Chains A and B, each alone.
Chain A
């Protein structure tokens, strides 16, 4: 599935809910299916800075696609990173670099997009794109 298709799918899923509470509950549920980062990898190197809660993000290249795994000690944050992993994992680096993130607004998480918010959603996206850039460079060489 392409990144755009997954984003459309998420927009569809979140549009079923009428209020923020249901959306948050759904996101928390998504967090439960997050592909978890290996416990041994939960160190400072994998920690995303700029979050009030802890977020660990790992990436590996399988063939020509990036596989993300992650975890967080806060469950709303875990839900947020789960949404991002669902969108960006198992994708080619160039596709991740080209992707826009407007869907976050459309699924009702706009308030998390402010760079000054302490949850670090912006930092998470930035980190994922950094990994994509690094692998992209690696693949070209």
Chain B
């Protein structure tokens, strides 16, 4: 399908609304993406036509809902190229997936074992491991980054040892847009026998990871970052890990047999999907994956790179503007500040002009501490943004600068 930006924009009803009297320019895609009509329709269709609980019912509606739910799992398996559909576990989102893995490792780790995380992690990627370390006596090690916002690979290699049990890194940094070399990170971890968990929350709307090729142990992401609904995500785990890790929550769906003496757990993936899942969310997630694939990830990546290049060039023309995260491999995120102006002030003014950007520490305070700044203004682009919207941002930032300096 040729990349037709106008046609794509027409798919997103929200993009035609006004904010503070101006046409909405939505540049907070790293926080959450907007939803196309196709995804919205799939939600309405589910509740209008075949809402029922899944897996156990013999009636027609239940069967239809089950087929749609498991059909979405297969779609997602194909999309991420997982070996088996049951290696895809539905979660409430990335954070839930991370906590599920951390909980599993609390039974595996021993005192003195080590977990490695990167210096550019989201708070939700730091806290569960700190909690895990407190509980097990394991030690948390951090891969440092350089001034360009790129992980120092040689330092990572130095941290690895036979004590390393788990390496945890985001595929793409939410605050800087840096793409981490996960294939190399996984390969090195393999050599010491450590497992690797990759957080794909920021990457899955831009690139299509091949999980078998990456040979990653765990991969987590959220549907809402990729045009799907909030409250649903996936945890991919290799079958061997799925069998090894204990269940996270007890409840319906995750059991095979229950007596008051003993419960046998269900197999994968149900072992980790206790209770009635987010059926509608999962089905809509499938619709979102279909939507993105119909446009094509190569097309998306190419177009977003154009937006990034143009935005970077135009923003840098503003005197005193500094971009954080300037590594060679990055996605369409521009995190910046203007000398002498607080990011919050810029965010407030551009919002009055209808432009949605994020300001603050982006839940990555360690990165802000590293640069010794209170936060940044972050504009993050999606394939439905336009070059004209980049111009609108640049003009708004110029206006803000004029008012604020």
Give the shortest distance, in Å, between A49 (CB) and chain B (any CB).
Answer: 14
* 8 Å CB interface, B1-43 against A: 20
The reply to whether B360 and A118 form a contact with Cβ atoms under 8 Å apart is yes
Residue A113 interfacial (CB < 8 Å)? no
A76–B348 CA distance with the chains assembled, in angstroms: 8
Q: Which of A21-29, A89-97, A130-138 contacts B (4 or more CB under 8 A)?
A: A21-29
CB atoms of B344 and A76 under 8 A apart: yes
- A24–B342 touching, CB < 8 Å: no
A77-B344 in contact (CB<8A): yes
Q: A52-B359, A118-B360 given as contacts; is B348 within 8 A of A20 (CB)?
A: no
Q: Which of these, B20, B341, B374, B403, contacts A24 with CB under 8 Å?
A: B403
B183 within 8 A of A: no
Known contacts being A54-B374, A76-B348, is A28 close to B342, with CB within 8 Å? no
B127 interface residue per 8 A CB criterion? no
CA distance A74 to B341 in the complex (A): 7
Q: Is B107's CB within 8 Å of the partner chain A?
A: no
Kindly state whether residue A119 has any CB partner on chain B within 8 Å.
Answer: yes
Distance in Å from the Cβ of B260 to the closest Cβ of chain A?
47
Contact B360 A24 (CB under 8 A): no
Contact present for B360 and A28 (CB under 8 Å): no
**Cβ-based interface call for A73 (8 A):** yes
Q: CB within 8 Å of B: which of A1-28?
A: 20-21, 24-25, 28
| Contact A52 B375, beta carbon cutoff 8 Å | yes
Most buried by A among B344, B349, B352, B403: B344
A77 and B344 alpha carbons, distance in the complex (Å): 9
In the complex, which residues of chain A have a beta carbon less than 8 angstroms from the beta carbon of B360?
Answer: 52, 118
Q: Do A118 and B349 contact each other (CB < 8 Å), given the known contacts A25-B403, A28-B403, A52-B360? A: no
Residue of A nearest to B341 (CB): A75
C-alpha gap A67/B191 in the complex (Å): 65
A53 to B349, CA, bound (A): 14
Q: Name the contact of B349 in the complex, choosing from A24, A52, A73 (C-beta under 8 A).
A: A24
A interface residue count range (under 10 / 10 to 19 / 20 to 34 / 35 or more):
10 to 19
Contact status B352-A75, CB under 8 Å: no
B404 is an interface residue with CB less than 8 A from chain A: yes
Cα distance A79–B203 in the bound complex, in angstroms: 39
CB distance from B78 to the nearest CB of A (A): 40
Of B344, B352, B375, which contacts A119 at CB under 8 A?
B344
Contacts of A21 in B (CB 8 A): 352, 403
B359 closest partner in A (C-beta): A52
Known: A24-B403, A25-B403, A73-B374. A52 touches B344 (CB 8 A): yes
Known: A20-B352, A21-B403, A28-B404. A75 touches B345 (CB 8 A): yes
Bound form: Cα–Cα A75–B345 in Å? 7
Cα distance, A21 to B374, chains bound together (Å): 25
Q: How far is the CA of A54 from the CA of B345 in the complex (A)?
A: 12
Provide the residues of chain A in CB contact with B374, threshold 8 Å: 53-54, 73
Q: Which residues of B contact A (CB under 8 A)?
A: 20, 341-342, 344-345, 348-349, 352, 359-360, 374-375, 403-404
Q: Beyond A21-B403, A52-B359, A75-B342: 5 further Cβ-contacts under 8 Å?
A: A24-B352, A25-B403, A52-B360, A75-B345, A118-B359
| Residues of A participating in the B interface, judged by any CB pair closer than 8 Å | 20-21, 24-25, 28, 52-54, 73-77, 118-119
Q: List 26 A-B contacts (CB under 8 A).
A: A20-B352, A21-B352, A21-B403, A24-B352, A24-B403, A25-B403, A52-B344, A52-B359, A53-B342, A53-B344, A53-B345, A54-B374, A73-B342, A73-B374, A74-B344, A74-B345, A75-B341, A76-B344, A76-B345, A76-B404, A77-B342, A77-B344, A118-B344, A118-B359, A118-B360, A119-B348
